[in-house]
Structure 1
Amino acid sequence: MRAVITGAALLIVAAACHAADVDVTAYGATCDPNEDATQAIQRALDACGGSGGGTVRMAAGQYRIDGSLVVPPGVTLQGVWKAPHYSSPEVGTTLLAYAGRGSTDGPPLVMLESNSTIRGVTIYYPDQTVDDIQPYPWCIQGRGTHLNVVDCTLLNPYLGIDFGTYAH
């Protein structure tokens, strides 16, 4: 009887701890550099966060971001980056950052909430050139504790990563 109760308890705990695994394409995101994917990716992030956390997966390709993304607590935004892209930002999962040009004020491109992660992504600012450097808000900013940026490449951001503005 004790073994049955223990087994049932383990199944209940395992079910409660099941993390969501979400693909951004299920929420309408496309790898089209001419189509804004911000809202579709945010819907996937919110759905994953609403189910208690997990991983939001992005296939290789270019995702245009015309706004800001918030990664909820317990969620990982996961691309397919494996090594630095020396030759081309088009390799792997790339977020094409267009939001905020002309000012450092405004939301970051990616806001990480407590216990969240961005992993395996290249972030590239296509309109940022050496001949005409423009200010942008933070590329990645964190609010809370246990914030993670893993295996990411930031190409030409005006402001890179900020984990110091908000109290931890």
Structure 2
Amino acid sequence: MDWYQTLFELIDMRSFSNLWFWIVLAVVWSTASHWVLGVPYDMVLRARRQGGQAEADLEDMVRININRLLYIGQVSGLWLAGFACFLLTMLALLGFVYGVEFAQALFLLAFPLSIVGMLSLSTARLIQAEEATGELLFKRLNRHRLFTQLIGMVSIFVTALWGMYQNVSVGPLAG
């Protein structure tokens, strides 16, 4: 057995039968639901419970992150949107028209994350427009986290269904 064959057995480009893909999927959605607009969710909970300095720290961190997000959106949002659409279209065509399983896996990761990205931008605009602090800020961050988790659950479900379909229809690789 040569090193090339050993390397590709270790990496296994068939994504849906690879344990690493499912680990990455779980970590991506766990991380996405933990970091709400760039703020760790435990900080939101601590600020809600303790108030005072913890709440002031949360408000400062949210303000910094939404200003950063909105600045990026204003300065290069159109270019980023165009590039993201190009990348998603390329992955969708490679994956679902040409049958490249790796592209399917990347699309099933990237497309829902792009929706979360748009949701983050929308929530940041809303928080800035309302100048949300205190209880209203907690409400906005909780709602954003809930929607992110819902998108993640649907994404994991659809990915699992598609992955099972791929594994059943394609079957094991012939050695």
- Shorter-chain-normalised TM-score: which range? under 0.3
User: Which structure is higher in helix share?
Assistant: 2
> Which has the greater radius of gyration?
2
Instruction: Give me the TM-score of the superposition, normalised by structure 2.
Output: 0.24
Instruction: Give me the TM-score of the superposition, normalised by structure 1.
Output: 0.25
